[in-house]
């Protein structure tokens, strides 16, 4: 039971306080380093590695459009951190999984549901939201 206490405390805190907004520029740097090779510089799914993947990379500029105009926070978090794996290049996404582990941080879905993830993923989410509607 003790091992679940920090997680429970983090989730409780997330439920009572708003998610701290991150600087989209930090997320943009992470995106260029870890995501653009497959998803393209502009997020349209046309990166230089796109042609060799079994499953074509998603057009990340259409995430909200494909979800009734609402950014799919929980789905994106789970796809990046591996809880909802997509084996498009021989391994669960991301291939940089070690980088996105740790540094627990909570964010919220548009409906207010808390989602526990890592600080780098929250930064990526903030950046990905700036790409919507393009």
Domain residues for the domain of 63 are: 2-130
Number of folded domains that form the chain: 1
Structure tokens, 26: 């930090």
> What pTM did the predictor assign?
0.74
* pLDDT attached to residue 95: 61
* Phi, psi torsion values for 101, nearest 5 degrees: -85, 160
pLDDT in tens, 24-71: 689 999 999 999 999 999 999 999 998 888 888 889 999 999 999 999
* pLDDT attached to residue 15: 39
What's the average model confidence in pLDDT over 69-84? 87
* pLDDT attached to residue 68: 93
d(CA 70, CA 72): 6
């Amino acid at each position: 039971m003790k091992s679940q206490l920090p997680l429970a405390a983090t989730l409780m805190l997330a439920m009572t306080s708003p998610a701290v907004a991150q600087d989209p520029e930090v997320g943009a740097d992470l995106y260029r380093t870890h995501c653009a090779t497959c998803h393209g510089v502009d997020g349209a799914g046309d990166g230089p590695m796109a042609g060799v993947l079994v499953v074509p990379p998603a057009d990340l500029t259409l995430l909200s459009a494909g979800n009734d105009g609402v950014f799919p926070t929980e789905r994106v978090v789970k796809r990046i951190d591996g809880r909802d794996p997509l084996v498009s290049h021989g391994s669960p996404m991301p291939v940089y999984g070690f980088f996105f582990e740790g540094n627990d941080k909570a964010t919220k879905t548009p409906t207010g549901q808390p989602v526990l993830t890592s600080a780098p993923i929250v930064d990526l989410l903030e950046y990905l939201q700036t790409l919507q509607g393009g």
